[in-house]
Amino acid sequence: MQDTGMGTSLRLGYLAAMGAVLIWSGFILVSRIGGISALSSFDVIAIRYVTCALLVLPVWFFRFRFNLFQPKFIICSLIGGLGYALFTFKGFELTTASQAAVLLPGLMPVMVMLLSTWMSKQKQSWNKWVGMSVITFGVGLLFWQEFQLTGDLSLGHLSLAGAALCWTLFSVLVQRWQITPWQATVSLAVITCIIYLPIYLIFCESNISLSLWRDVALQSFYQGFLATIVQMMMYVRAVQIIGAASMGTMMAMVPIISGISALYLFDEPATLVLVVAMTLVSSGVWLCHSRYLAELKLK
């Protein structure tokens, strides 16, 4: 009975992970829409966290209150909220959605696995190491193509690499400090908003206006609700059940979903290197979970 309960728990963890993957895929597309709109990256960040904070604050205050300003929540908010957002949305301004679909979720699993192995002393199976190698090769191809074309890595690529590193640190800390999905969601929304909003209002020029209400509404709904609240709850729940390394590898399925969608939605060029990179990264995640999937079939 214990094994059956454990198997059910793992299935629920992977279902939560898959939900997070689908929302992340849409997040890349919606973020690129914001990046090519009249809204600046600073506008999108403000819309994201103000909307989310307004949604979760009443629930936190009247129903599920906890000590919000603990050091661990502040640290996670600075890394997984503010740092991640600044790097991510600048990257979406400067990089195509199809390339971002490979770089952001492709770099995450490699960084998460290495960091969780080092910090949490998690032992990884051979198939995960093979999968990580395939993912790394796929991401490396994209970096190589950029270097061949320009002789350097673009600021957009480096920004997305910085975003992947921020989310990696956040993922490992969430697991290490046993932060619940609700605590992670509220702290990222409220603490990030408290820190960022005064800086945005004083130092950043806002492009938000009534004429851009469609862009503002789209970013508010997806960034402030789906990507921040729903996705965060699913992501953290999955991390608690299947672990940060496994969740990181699941995120590598995002490139094939969002990457192909971006090619059609934004009419971006489908170069051979890009297609190969998408395929390699997506194949890497299958390799990482091939042993677990085989075990599920035997049960």
Q: Is the pLDDT of residue 5 over 70?
A: no
Q: Is 144 helix (H, G, I), strand (E, B) or coil?
A: helix
What would the pLDDT profile of 13-69 be if each residue is shown by its tens digit?
888 888 988 998 999 999 999 989 889 989 999 999 999 999 999 999 898 889 999
Q: 64: which residues sit within 8 A by CB, 6+ positions away?
A: 182
pTM, rounded to two decimals: 0.82
Residue 204 φ then ψ, to 5°: -105, 140
Please determine, for residue 299, whether its predicted confidence score (pLDDT) is greater than 60.
no
Q: DSSP string of 191-234?
A: HHHHHHHHHHHHHS-----GGGHHHHHHHHHIIIIIIIIIHHHH
173-231 per-position pLDDT tens digit:
888 888 888 898 899 999 999 999 999 999 888 888 888 899 999 999 999 899 888 88
Angstrom distance (rounded) from CA 134 to CA 128: 10
Domain ranges of the chain: 2-298
pLDDT at res. 245: 66
The answer to whether residue 298 scores a pLDDT higher than 50 is no
Q: Rounded distance, CA 81 to CA 86, Å?
A: 9
Residue type (1 letter), 54 = L
CA distance 236 to 283: 24
CA angle at 100 for the pair 164 and 282, rounded to the nearest 5°: 85
